């Protein structure tokens, strides 16, 4: 390659941007002949629009949002593609200490099993309705996000219709803790490190890790405009190589301290490195008493084929959009959604084609078989049918 | 037509509001406090919402695209796909517009153009302010350094300034940079 190729890439300050940030700050991108300027953004909408109009060459983006933009759901249709995944899992559902306490009393036992906590939440929602109290309010980060789907799936297993029985509101992650303090929300689902920020402030209790709702939720991808990949596939391949190498480094337990200090910097996440280390280790402090819980899959970056874009994941995400009335069903949409996941580009340079990953899974409900979306959706008592 | 401006920067919001009023839009409301944003927007029930792009609450507005029972009127972002230049101009200026579906495109276009020019005017103003502020700080640093040289080396003011200037030329630096180095050194040698 002659001279470094200059790129601008947008990101949100979250731990699940680790592979992208490390690719740039630890020299993996440079080794591929890429000179990347990372631009920290304030909202997912900004990232999407700047990628769409060409201000960004690529972006750290919510996987469901990448699909929504491609299908033109709720917004202008701009086809994006994902040649590499940046993260699987990484979210947590956090409640106000008062709500956590109340659910515990209703359940009469530990709340670690989401089936039990969902039932307790359902009972509480019905009780509040009977008493004429305001419905509970939960925050999440974007309509097209796994955070939204995690909350809805969990609530619906407790007999709650999330559009009717309580309020779900979009909240920017930096406002989540403050909203708990002010009582604007009773709980939220958010990516790391924001649940830990609420726990450390004594304002939140982590109820569930995202991976306890869905064991392998497709969280973030590196998104590019489909048109730019058509005209310059070599660029996408160079990005895949850089990110896959960086992801390998992020997963190395011996490098955690260094990764945490790279991410913690002022111009990256600007949070305490300790919070980042906890997330990378999957060893989370869940309440003000300092109790810890661990899940090795709390956040998956590279392991188990984590970087490879997965067509089945796109179908599953499309099914969640259908279930909650965000999309209308068509086979064209289904195949367009699947077409976002450009595993062909990934396989061309990384070569894990034979890997068959674990399904996304869920703590309850029907198994997702892939193609037959109508019967998958019919199996849920709550949600739209097609 | 009812217009809401969502901006945490009161000065910029005021400049935009003034522009809108001058252009004949009388029904303008400013929201500078982000908590319960959607609730307050629904209470106002505007036709157009203008928001600055540094605002994390932009994602909150995206919820209004959802076809859900909580949303009363369908809202869209103002993007005219035939007019890429105006979208770019608004992103560059740092402002975005959300409109109630069905509004006439031409009317919105004039509002957006106005936003873009006011936002750009505001950031030029800020640049000028920042430059004026740093000029002032430079001058203060040079004055302090001159004072240090005058007492420690028994120079007149002109001699002190000449010493600063020739050091700056020798080291290819700004006079203010040399002055700051002298201040730092003097503090260390105290």
In the numeric block, the tokens 């003000």 are attached to A288
Band the pLDDT of B88: cuts 50, 70, 90.
confident
Question: Percent helix, strand, coil in chain A (nearest 5)?
Answer: 45, 20, 35
- What are phi and psi for residue A358, nearest 5 degrees? -60, 150
- Residue that has been written with the tokens 């909202």 in this structure: A43
Instruction: Tell me what pLDDT residue B69 has.
Output: 47
| Greater model confidence, A366 or B45 | A366
- Note whether B59 contacts A44, CB cutoff 8 Å: yes
pLDDT digits (tens, 9 = 90+) for A303-338: 888 999 999 999 999 999 999 999 999 999 999 999
Interface check B91 vs A, CB under 8 A: yes
pTM summary value:
0.88
Q: Which helix (H) or strand (E) holds A191?
A: strand A187-191
CB atoms within 10 A of CB A274: 13
Say which residues have a Cβ less than 8 Å from residue B146's Cβ, sequence separation at least 6. Answer: B157, B160, B161, B164, B179
Mean pLDDT of B78-103: 74
DSSP-derived secondary structure for B63-113 = GGGS-STT--S-EEE---TT-HHHHHHHHHHTEEEEEETT--HHHHHHHHH
Which pair of structure tokens corresponds to residue A114? 């989401």
Percent of chain A with pLDDT over 70: 98
The yes-or-no verdict on residue B101 having pLDDT over 70 is no
Of B34, B66, B79, Cβ closest to residue A143: B66
3-state secondary structure B146-187: HHHHHHHHCCCHHHHHHHHHHHHHHHCCCHHHHHHHHHHHHH
Q: Given CA atoms A25, A30, A32, A33 in this order, what sign does their dihedral have?
A: positive
Higher pLDDT, B102 or B44: B44
Residues of B in contact with A44 (CB under 8 A): 59, 62
Residue A76: pLDDT band with limits 50, 70, 90 = confident
Q: Does any CB of chain B come closer than 8 Å to the CB of residue A170?
A: yes
Q: Which candidate in B41, B62, B89 is best for mutational testing of the A interface (most A CBs within 10 A)?
A: B62
Dump pLDDT digits (tens) for B5-56: 999 999 999 999 999 999 999 999 999 988 888 888 888 888 888 999 889 9
Q: Does domain B131-189 fall into CATH 1.10.10.10?
A: yes
Distance to chain B for A256, nearest Cα, Å: 29
pLDDT at res. B92 = 86
- Mean pLDDT value across residues B100-106: 69
HSE, side-chain direction, 13 A CA sphere, residue B117: 9
**Could you tell me which of A61, A155, A70 has the C-alpha nearest to residue A117?**
A155
Q: Say whether residue A134 is in contact with chain B using an 8 A CB cutoff.
A: no
Domain parsing of chain B, residue ranges: 3-127, 131-189
Q: Judge whether residue A196 has pLDDT over 90.
A: yes
Give percent of chain A with pLDDT exceeding 90. Answer: 91
**Is A326 in CB contact (< 8 Å) with chain B?**
yes
**d(C-alpha B95, C-alpha B51), whole Å:** 6
Q: Indicate if the pLDDT at residue A240 is higher than 60.
A: yes
Domains B3-127 and B131-189 in one fold: no
- In the predicted model, is pLDDT for residue A53 greater than 70? yes
ipTM of the predicted assembly exceeds 0.95: no
What count of other Cβ atoms lies within 10 Å of the Cβ of residue A216?
22
The residue in chain A having the minimum alpha-carbon distance to the alpha carbon of residue B80 is A76
A135 lies within 8 A of chain B by CB: no
Mean per-residue pLDDT of chain A: 94
* Domains of chain A, start order: 5-88+217-271+300-378 (3.40.190.10), 91-213 (3.40.190.10)
Report d(CA A2, CA B188) in Å as an integer.
48
DSSP A351-367: --TT--PPP---SSS--
Q: Does the CB of A172 have a partner CB in chain B at under 8 Å? A: yes
Residues 56-75 of B with CB under 8 A from A: 56-63, 65-70
Q: How many CB atoms lie within 10 A of CB A104?
A: 16
Task: Give yes or no for a contact between A364 and A115, defined as CB atoms under 8 angstroms apart.
Answer: yes
Q: Could you tell me the pLDDT band of residue B110, with boundaries at 50, 70 and 90?
A: confident
Helix (H, G, I), strand (E, B) or coil at A18: helix
Mean pLDDT across chain B = 86
| Non-local CB neighbours of A63 within 8 Å, separated by 6+ positions | A82, A85, A146, A218, A219, A220, A221, A313, A317
Identify the residue among A13, A39, A42 best suited for mutation to test binding to B, counting B beta carbons within 10 A and taking the highest: A42
Q: Which uninterrupted H or E stretch holds B14? A: helix B10-22
Is residue A332 helix, strand or coil?
helix
Cβ within 8 Å of residue A169, ≥6 positions away: A137, A138, A139, A140, A185, B38, B60, B63
Instruction: Please indicate if any CB of chain B lies within 8 Å of the CB of A171.
Output: yes
CATH number of B3-127: 3.40.190
What residues have CB less than 8 Å from B170, skipping those under 6 apart? none
Tens digit of each residue's pLDDT (9 = 90 or more) over A281-309: 999 999 999 999 999 999 999 988 899 99
pLDDT greater at residue B93 or residue A363: A363
Question: Apex CA A23: angle with CA A21 and CA A26, to 5°?
Answer: 95
With beta carbons less than 8 A apart as the criterion, state whether B92 and A77 touch: no
Whether A60 has a pLDDT exceeding 50, the answer reads yes
Question: Given this model, what pLDDT does residue A236 score?
Answer: 97
Q: In a 3-state reduction of DSSP, which class is residue A65?
A: helix
Q: Taking 80 as the threshold, does the pLDDT of residue A74 lie above it?
A: no
**pLDDT for res B34:** 86
pLDDT score recorded for residue B171: 92
pLDDT for residue A170: 93
3-state SS, residue B130: helix
């Amino acid at each position: 390659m002659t001279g470094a190729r200059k790129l601008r890439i947008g990101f949100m300050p979250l731990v699940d941007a680790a592979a992208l940030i490390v690719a740039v700050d630890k020299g993996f991108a440079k080794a591929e002949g890429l000179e990347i300027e990372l631009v920290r953004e304030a909202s997912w909408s900004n990232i999407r629009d700047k990628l769409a109009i060409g201000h960004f060459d690529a972006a750290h983006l919510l996987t469901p949002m990448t699909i929504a933009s491609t299908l033109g759901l709720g917004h202008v249709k701009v086809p994006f593609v994902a040649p590499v995944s940046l993260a699987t899992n990484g979210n947590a559902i956090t409640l106000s200490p008062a709500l956590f306490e109340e659910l515990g009393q209703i359940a009469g036992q530990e709340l670690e099993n989401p089936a039990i906590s969902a039932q307790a939440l359902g009972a509480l929602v019905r009780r509040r309705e009977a008493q004429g109290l305001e419905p509970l309010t939960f925050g999440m980060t974007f309509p097209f996000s796994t955070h939204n789907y995690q909350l809805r799936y969990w609530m619906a297993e407790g007999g709650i219709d999330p559009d009717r029985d309580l309020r779900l509101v979009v909240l920017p992650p930096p406002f989540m803790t403050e909203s708990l303090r002010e009582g604007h929300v009773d709980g939220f689902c958010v990516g790391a490190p924001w649940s830990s920020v609420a726990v450390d402030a004594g304002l939140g209790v982590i109820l569930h890790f995202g991976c306890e709702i869905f064991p392998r939720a497709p969280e973030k991808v590196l998104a590019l405009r489909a048109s730019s990949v058509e005209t310059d596939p070599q660029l996408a391949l160079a990005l895949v190589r850089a990110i896959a190498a960086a992801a390998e480094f992020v997963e190395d337990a011996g490098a955690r301290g260094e990764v945490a200090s790279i991410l913690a910097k002022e111009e990256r996440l600007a949070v305490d490195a300790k919070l980042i280390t906890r997330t990378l280790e999957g060893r989370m402090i869940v309440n003000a008493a300092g109790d810890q819980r661990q899940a090795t899959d709390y956040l998956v970056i590279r392991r188990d084929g984590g970087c490879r874009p997965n067509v089945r994941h796109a179908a599953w995400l499309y099914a969640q959009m259908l279930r909650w009335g965000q999309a209308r069903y068509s086979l064209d949409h289904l195949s367009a959604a699947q077409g976002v996941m450009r595993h062909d580009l990934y396989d061309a340079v990384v070569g894990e084609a034979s890997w068959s990953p674990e399904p996304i899974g869920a703590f309850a409900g029907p198994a997702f078989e892939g193609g037959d979306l109508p019967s998958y959706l019919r199996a849920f008592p709550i949600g739209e049918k097609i | 037509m009812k217009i809401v401006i969502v901006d945490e920067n009161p000065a910029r919001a005021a400049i935009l509001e003034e522009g809108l009023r001058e252009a004949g839009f009388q029904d303008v409301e400013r929201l500078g406090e982000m908590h319960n944003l959607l609730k307050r927007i629904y209470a106002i029930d505007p036709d157009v919402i203008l928001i600055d792009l540094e605002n994390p609450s932009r994602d909150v507005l995206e919820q209004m695209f959802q076809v859900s029972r909580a949303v009363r009127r369908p809202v869209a972002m103002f993007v005219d796909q035939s007019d890429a230049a105006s979208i770019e101009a608004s992103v560059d200026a740092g402002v975005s517009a959300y409109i109630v579906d069905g509004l006439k495109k031409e009317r919105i276009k004039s509002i957006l153009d106005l936003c873009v020019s006011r936002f750009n005017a505001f950031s030029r103003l800020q640049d000028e302010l920042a430059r004026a502020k740093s000029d002032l700080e430079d001058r203060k640093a040079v004055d302090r350094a001159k004072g240090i040289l005058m007492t420690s080396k028994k120079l007149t003011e002109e001699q002190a300034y000449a010493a600063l200037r020739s050091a700056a030329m020798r080291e290819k630096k700004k006079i203010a940079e040399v002055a700051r180095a002298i201040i730092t050194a003097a503090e260390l040698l105290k």
